[in-house]
Chains A and B, each alone.
Chain A
């Protein structure tokens, strides 16, 4: 039997992925901007209802932890941390971050994991563990360029986090098709992992309105209550 935030005042935690991959400006704005907007709206909403809120900002590893607290000052605190954050180097290690979160968040909480979930594999089990103790919502930030590669011609790709470079002929139809297949496979794997962990998923695209996503989220929550 689960309790839901709508009924009780439980702490809210934001696990905010601020790794370099989030800075990628693809089809429209960066995922980082979307993350900031989402955090602002959701944090204000929760604090306004009297909930306590905390945040963990991570890139390669956890960069900053803001203990849960209430009040208007906490909102400014968290948002200030988000806007003033300088991303560290290295690939996002979601596994370590989720494990650390499980240690930090003591009380049963509502946990938003806001990330693009681009991370070396192994984090899925940690997410399952976290979801067993907390009410976890995966806020998945997506971009059109994540799944479809336009005909960009010949291009040097550089990994946003590792800096590794790769020469690719994006003008090659075969390449774009293989890319789409690989992206679809990744989508399916992610959905499977979320389902297995039993977490709710909010897909938030860079081209979407964050408010719309919140409304969708609220509707989903209502359905699961009923």
Chain B
């Protein structure tokens, strides 16, 4: 079958949830439905014993117009309810998409100098902090939240915790720095989630041991920093389905264009290989604007294309916020739908409830129309 009423079949079949049955043998009971319908028709044809004997049927015939279709409505509803109950006996289950709670959320926040811009009231960084705090407040107590701040380098400022005051004070400690390294932000977030894995963070983080400027001694000569344990040779990570990691997500907020650190697209590829979703929030206007503060003046152009690409690669979503309210709304949406899980669920109760509703409707209609319950 290619189409139904001009609608392509592929679209219709997408609408019908795939239903499977635990006791499919019970489906044979559905044969009772046509049987009952047949009995109903037979009963209709049979002469009624309790008929109302009326002297002048000609008058009644004159007044009645055609068959009263309404009388068949409640029985039809009852039959449908009966069929649903029979279906329920086969214990149907369906793949349903359910929002599932994430255990860990990493908030990766841009703390570059451009966040000082006051195009958002009172300033971008203040709005971002307020929104982040509100988001933290909205999270259930058992969700662990970690905070990664990134400018030219990225740093885990608060390891994942359920301690909300600690999170708030970590946000309060934000200090604006130069540069924007979205890729590093993602990598630090990933390494927070997967501490045992070896992400190439140190390569670009200038505060790491063994580096001087862009020159990495260890890369060249090997060796370990003081107090650093030799890491096991990186086991090749087997890529998983993008977006399949259910335990944690990364929410990355930035207002600018990457000008330092690890390649964001490469970082996104890694995130997708680990199945981690990276929700990206672009803050500020897409038009490049000059931000002046303290004698400095810089361009802060939002790189929407890159953010969208990151979100796409990791099966997440990109949001754009131009005001504090926007940002709040974005975080609201995020706190509701981070991870959607499809689960096989028995929907017998749903069938039974629907049947009950149909029966109630049948009885209600019958009462209002014919003053009797069926």
Seen from chain A, the residues whose Cβ lies within 8 Å of a Cβ on chain B are 20-24, 116, 118, 143, 145-146, 149, 151-162, 164-169, 171-172, 174-176, 178-179, 181-183, 186
Which of A146, A159, A174, A175 contacts B57 (CB under 8 A)? A159
In the complex, are the beta carbons of B71 and A167 less than 8 A apart?
yes
Does B296 touch A at the CB level, under 8 Å?
A: no
In the complex, are the beta carbons of A169 and B51 less than 8 A apart?
no
In the complex, are the beta carbons of A169 and B56 less than 8 A apart?
no
Expressed in whole angstroms, the Cα–Cα distance for A165 and B60 within the complex equals 11
Q: A179-B59, A182-B62 are in contact. Are A153 and B51 (CB under 8 A)?
A: no
In the complex, are the beta carbons of B65 and A158 less than 8 A apart?
no
- 22 contacts across the A-B interface (CB closer than 8 A): A118-B56, A152-B52, A153-B371, A157-B54, A157-B57, A158-B48, A158-B51, A158-B52, A159-B54, A159-B57, A161-B55, A165-B47, A165-B48, A166-B60, A166-B61, A168-B63, A169-B70, A172-B68, A174-B65, A175-B65, A182-B62, A183-B59
Which of B64, B65, B67, B369: most chain A CB closer than 10 A? Answer: B64
Which A residues touch B237, using CB under 8 A?
A: none
In the complex, are the beta carbons of A24 and B60 less than 8 A apart?
no
How many B residues face the partner with a CB closer than 8 A?
25
The interface residues of chain A, by DSSP majority, are classed as mixed
Q: A21-B55, A118-B56, A167-B68 are in contact. Are A156 and B50 (CB under 8 A)?
A: yes
Expressed in whole angstroms, the Cα–Cα distance for A24 and B53 within the complex equals 7
What distance in Å separates the Cβ of B102 from its nearest Cβ neighbour in chain A? 57
Q: Which A-chain residue is minimally distant from B367 (CB atoms)? A: A153
Which B residues touch A143, using CB under 8 A?
A: 55
Which B residues touch A157, using CB under 8 A?
A: 51-52, 54, 57, 60
Which of A20, A21, A153, A165: most chain B CB closer than 10 A? Answer: A153
Which A residues touch B370, using CB under 8 A?
A: 153-154, 169, 171
Does B372 touch A at the CB level, under 8 Å?
A: yes
Which A residues touch B63, using CB under 8 A?
A: 149, 168, 175-176, 178-179, 181-182
